[in-house]
Amino acid sequence: MFLNALKYDEKDISNCGFLGFVNRDRKRVTGESIIKGIAAQRERGNGLGGGFAVYGLYPDYPHLYAFHCMFQFEEAKKKSEEFLQAYFNIENSGEIPTRSTPQIQNSPLHWRYFLAPYREKIKKTETEQDYIVDKVMQLNKHIDGAYITSSGKNMGAFKGVGYPEEIGEFFRLEEYSAYAWVAHNRFPTNTPGWWGGAHPFVLLDFSIVHNGELSSYGINKRYLEEKGYECTMQTDTEAVAYLLDLLIRRHQLSVEMVLEIFSPPYWKDIDKMDPNKKTHYTNLRKIYGGAMLNGPFSFIIGYERGLIGLADRLKLRPLVVGKKDATMFFSSEDSTISLLCPDAEKIWRPRAGEPVYGFYYQ
C-alpha cells in the first residue's frame, strides 16, 4: 500500500543514520559516493525509509521550481496536474526515471514538474515564495493520494520505503551530478514507515534529515498551524522544515538565531549570563517558545547557502563532522567519513548544541 503504516506493539530504541557532504566550491559529483557512504550505515536503519536531498541537481532549469511528486494512483495525478496548471506555467514535466529494484515494492508514481507561478495570480500581500508554499500545502492536504515531496529550485528529494542504497539504485542517482548530497537511513519508532514519511523533508530550498525524535512535536505542530502550515506527512521531522521556512524566510531571522531558537541554553545557564546575553536569550525563549525543539536529535539542514549540522543540547544523538579542502562532511559515524575521505584533514565531534556550517564560498 502507499501508506505502509506499521503498528508497533512496543517502542524500539531510536536509531537512524545520516550522511551529507557539500563541495563548497560547487564542484558537481555523481551520487555514487553518497550511496556508498550511507550503505555503510545499513545497521542504523530497518528498511522502512531511505532518502536523499540533492543540491545543484538541475542546472538546465536554475530559475524554475522543481516539484517532485508522489501519486498513489492515476486519478491523484490527474487532479494534481489540473491544480498545478491552474496556478503555474509548467515548462517541462515527466516521470522521474527509476529502475526495477527487487527490494523496492509498491512504489507510487513519481513525477516532476519544472514550473513558475503565474505572476498575475500572486496577491499583493504575498511574495512568490508565499504563493509556492500555499499551493504546496493545498495540494498535499486536499488531493487524496498526492504529495509534493520537494519544491525548491535546482534541487530535489528522492525518497521511499527501503534501505537508502536501494532507494538510490531505484532512482538511478548515480546518473545525477550535484554539489551537495544528503542521505538518510530511517529507523521509524513512533511514526509510520511509508513513502511520504521517509526523510528528507523539504519545503522550497530547505531540507532536513533527522536522527532522534521531537518530544516537542505537538507544540511545534500547533505553533506552525497557527501560521498557516499543514503537517501532512505523519512524522515529527516535517515540522522542522516548516519552522526553517517560517523563521528564516518569513520572519527574516538569521540562520544563527534560528539555531539558537531550536537549541537554546537552559534557563539556569541564561540566569548566569551578562545582562545583554541574558536579555537576548530570554526574549528568544519567550517569543519563539513554540519553535523550540525538545528531545534527542541531530540534524543535517540543507538550504541555498549550503549544509548545517546541529545536535541537541545534551547531544543524545551523534553528529560527526569532517573536512578536506573545499568539502565538508556531516555524518552519524566517523567511519563513514573515513570511508569516503581517508585523507581527511580533520574529523571532529561538535559539542552539544553547537552548529557547524558548511556554506558555499562567496
- SS3 state at 210: strand
Q: Report which secondary-structure segment, H or E, holds 78.
A: helix 74-87
Q: Is 16 one of the catalytic residues?
A: yes
In whole angstroms, give the CA distance from residue 204 to residue 112.
14
The Cβ of residue 91 has, within 10 Å, a number of other Cβ atoms equal to 12
In whole angstroms, give the CA distance from residue 79 to residue 71.
10
Amino acid present at 63: H
What does the block give as the cell for 228? 498557516
CA Rg, the chain, in Å? 20
The helix-helix angle for 237-244 and 255-262 (nearest 10°) equals: 150
**Strand pairing category for 50-55 and 155-160:** antiparallel
Q: Report which secondary-structure segment, H or E, holds 242.
A: helix 237-244
Q: How far is CA 158 from CA 59, 111, 137, 215, in A?
A: 17, 11, 19, 27
- The one catalytic residue in 16, 69, 231, 341 is 16
- SS3 state at 50: strand
What does the block give as the cell for 271? 540566569
Find out whether 187 and 45 touch, Cβ atoms under 8 Å: yes
Find out whether 270 and 282 touch, Cβ atoms under 8 Å: yes
What does the block give as the cell for 124? 499583493
In whole angstroms, give the CA distance from residue 188 to residue 268.
33
Our CA dihedral for 218, 222, 228, 231, rounded to 10 degrees, sits at 20
Length of the chain: 362
Order of strands, sheet of 65-71, starting from the edge strand that comes earlier in the sequence:
88-95, 109-117, 65-71, 146-150
Catalogue the active-site residues: 16
